[in-house]
């Protein structure tokens, strides 16, 4: 995996206060950890929540669908039919990286129920993959403009610990990178297996809009206030 240190931001302006919640947010293909940093201030979350935001960088890897060009990615993409040909090795590797980041937050004193794993596109796929397999009960899983990879292995590999964990899914209705149908298929699969999915869609493409940011803010505030 990448040796780059993740970008870490804390919402509380009083640096003397240790964070008591963490959001680990993974970027999409070709971006890096800085991609979603500006959203932290746009969320306008209360200082009292005192959240540590962690934005890791994916490793540089050749991406088959982009003629093997090396870019930051959590796993390889070999086909436009992204949900059919999973790069299992890359997904497992990146899932393990996210698990280690969660474990590090536990070791620093943050309760598992105050850890949110989040991601956009490829990052959201890893958040779903790893979050549903994590052995401690998380506060929530946020999956933006994405889908669940390696769906056929979910039932045998998922943990009871996160079966009732709130899942926030959001997708653009005009997404031409990860088609909305992939998000809807994931929502249906998760709901069929009894997961708690909160679904949002927006009149946008493969991006994030202000309405979505407001919905994310409300969701985070609600989860971290009640724990």
What is the pairing mode between strands 7-10 and 51-55? antiparallel
User: What's the CA gap between 34 and 55, in Å, rounded?
Assistant: 7
Cα dihedral value 59, 65, 88, 85, nearest 10: 160
* Cα gap 222→46, rounded to integer Å: 11
- Strand 69-72 and strand 60-63: pairing? antiparallel
Catalytic (active-site) positions: 121, 175, 206
């Amino acid at each position: 995996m990448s040796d780059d240190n993740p970008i870490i931001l804390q919402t509380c302006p009083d640096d003397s206060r240790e964070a008591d919640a963490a959001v680990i947010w993974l970027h999409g293909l070709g971006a890096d950890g800085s991609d979603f940093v500006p959203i932290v201030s746009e969320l306008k979350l209360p200082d009292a929540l005192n959240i540590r935001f962690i934005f890791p960088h994916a490793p540089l890897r050749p991406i088959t669908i982009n003629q093997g060009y090396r870019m930051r990615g959590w796993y390889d993409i070999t086909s436009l039919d992204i949900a059919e040909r999973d790069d299992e090795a890359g997904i497992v590797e990146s899932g393990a990286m996210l698990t280690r980041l969660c474990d590090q937050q536990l070791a620093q004193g943050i309760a598992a129920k105050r850890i949110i794993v989040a991601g956009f596109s490829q990052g959201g796929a890893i958040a779903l993959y790893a979050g549903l397999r994590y052995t401690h009960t998380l506060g929530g899983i946020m999956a933006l403009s994405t889908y669940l990879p390696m769906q056929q292995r979910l039932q045998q590999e998922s943990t009871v610990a996160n079966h009732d964990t709130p899942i926030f899914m959001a997708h653009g209705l005009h997404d031409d990178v990860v088609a909305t149908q992939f998000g809807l298929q994931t929502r249906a699969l998760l709901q069929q297996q009894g997961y708690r999915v909160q679904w949002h869609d927006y009149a946008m493409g493969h991006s994030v809009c202000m309405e979505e940011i407001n919905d994310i803010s409300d969701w985070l505030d609600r989860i971290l206030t009640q724990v």
